[in-house]
Amino acid sequence: MYTFEPIHLEGIELIQSVASHTWEPTYRNILTPAQIDYMYDMMYSSENLKKQMEELHHQFFIIRSGGKPVGYLSIEPKAGNRFNFQKIYSLPEIHGKGVGRFIIEQGIAYLKEHYPTPFTIELYVNRYNQAVGFYQHMGLKITDTRDYDIGNGYFMNDYIMEMEIKE
């Protein structure tokens, strides 16, 4: 039903295309329109995505259904066998159809294939994002909170969620 493909610099426009359809619906009930625009411009500019890929070593994946791009994931390697699932997004019209589970499971499978276990995955999730319950259902646990200053008077008010992968 879904495919999970690594993408690199040539996929920046594809990520931006899917993000343009997922970002506002995800945050419209949580953040102001001005903060949504600010964060989107900051995180999804071509320059920033290129930096994430080349300098910060994020691995991006595109998720497709019937060949159509429907979601994406980026994984950032951290110190000490930790990996941050930086971006887990899918088109609103396919929520509830198993794509979120697929993205997380495929991300974990990718890490198991390329890095030794055990390792820990972590997410930063807005404290008011309805996906918090889904992530808990998937086995992630809230371990802390953070209020991260992103500039322009805005903060990301997140739960830090983690899951240990042992095998």
> What's the confidence (pLDDT) of residue 26?
87
Whether the predicted pLDDT of 116 surpasses 90:
no
| Cα–Cα distance for residue pair 14/69, rounded to 1 Å | 8
pLDDT digits over 12-56, tens only?
999 999 999 998 898 889 999 999 999 999 999 999 999 999 999
Whose tokens are 């980026």? That residue is: 74
Structure tokens at 111: 């890490």
* Overall average pLDDT of the 130-147 stretch: 96
The strand pairing partners of 151, in sequence order, are 154
State which H helix or E strand residue 25 sits in.
helix 12-27
What type of residue sits at position 99? V
Give the chain's domains with CATH numbers.
2-165 (3.40.630.30)
pTM score over 0.75: yes
pLDDT at 120 over 90: yes
CA-closest candidate to residue 70, choices 17, 13, 126, 128: 17
Comparing 28 with 4, the larger pLDDT belongs to 4
The mean pLDDT value for 119-136 works out to 95
